Amino acid sequence: MKPAPSSQMRFRDELKDFFYFLRHPRSARRLPGRVQGDGWYLDWFAPLPWKRLLQWAGMLWLINALVLGPIAVSVAGVGGAQHRLDPTRIPWVQAIIWAPIVEELVFRFVLRRPSQWLTVVPLAVFLMFQGPSWWLIQGLLVLCLAVWISRYTGMPRQALPAGSRWWRKLVGALQGRAWRFSSMRRYWRFFPWVFYGATLAFGALHLYNFQLNSMSWYLLPLLVLPQCLTGLVLAWLRVRRGIGASIVLHAIFNGGPVLLIIGLLKLFDGIPV
């Protein structure tokens, strides 16, 4: 992805937009400064403001390290929960590459493309719970094919790529139907529920990172406060910039702590990682 042209919004302006969006989740236009072109392509590959993404990642790291992280650690200590992660065996490929792609497709891809939830989400959910392996990487390639086919939703089959009849039938079966205007209006009316529901589901997924033991159920949300805040930012970014931007920010957010832990282990303990 190329660097973005100079943005028309300062970071504090984006913060204001984010908080306004939290109060009024909606089908919003893209942030100012977005280049013009193929909407589907730019949803994935629009030039990214790398400095701005690093600012968002830094803000999330700071809030999670100073505020939400200590709350989660205290709650885990009170409730007897233990983290499953072994810092000497960090699954860095899964954290930096696999999880950002698959989790964004599960929880946030359909926020702007709701007609694709039957095509993309079931396979993405399966891959998410199975984790990376060679044959599942092949499954990820199939998922990428399904996402690519989603580009042609609503097009007549005669306009689909490739000339053979069987290929057009296959693509036509997978592409789904574009929602009617009335259906989209209904979806956007319920969009706040979808937005916050996807964020809560994203946070709940990370409860799997803990051995909960006999922890009280009402303390569980406090364990995943960092993930819920991150999920809100990623969902806003997906709607306002695109799925590609949310995947990259997700990877940066995961990659910072992973690289820090690996560096500390190598520097102080000499433990091979």
Q: How far apart are CA 9 and CA 128, in angstroms?
A: 35
Q: What percent of the chain has pLDDT over 70?
A: 77
Q: Is the pLDDT of residue 273 over 50?
A: no
Q: Is the pLDDT of residue 232 over 70?
A: yes
Q: Is the pLDDT of residue 109 over 80?
A: yes
In sequence order, the β-bridge partners of residue 48 are 3
Report the mean per-residue pLDDT for the chain.
80
Give the number of other Cβ atoms within 10 Å of residue 232's Cβ: 21
The two tokens of residue 132 are: 């990376």
The residue-averaged pLDDT of 90-112 equals 89
pLDDT band (50, 70, 90) for residue 254? very high
Token pair 């259906």 in the structure block, residue? 183
Q: Which of residues 29 and 236 earns the better pLDDT score? A: 236
Helix (H) / strand (E) containing 100: helix 99-107
The two tokens of residue 189 are: 């009316």
pLDDT at residue 129, as a whole number: 83
Which tens digit of pLDDT belongs to each residue from 38-79?
777 788 888 888 899 999 999 999 999 999 999 998 988 888
Domain boundaries of the chain, sorted by first residue: 11-17+30-269
Least confident of 5-9, 114-118, 153-157, 236-240: 153-157
pLDDT at residue 4, as a whole number: 56
**Residue 219 burial by Cβ neighbours in a 10 Å radius (0-12, 13-18, 19+):** middle
pLDDT band (50, 70, 90) for residue 150? low
Least confident of 63-72, 75-84, 130-139: 130-139
Please name which of 236, 241, 235 lies closest in space to residue 1, comparing C-alpha atoms. 241
pLDDT at residue 34, as a whole number: 72
Q: Which of residues 183 and 92 earns the better pLDDT score? A: 92
Q: What percent of the chain has pLDDT over 90?
A: 36
pLDDT at residue 65, as a whole number: 94
pLDDT at residue 85, as a whole number: 78
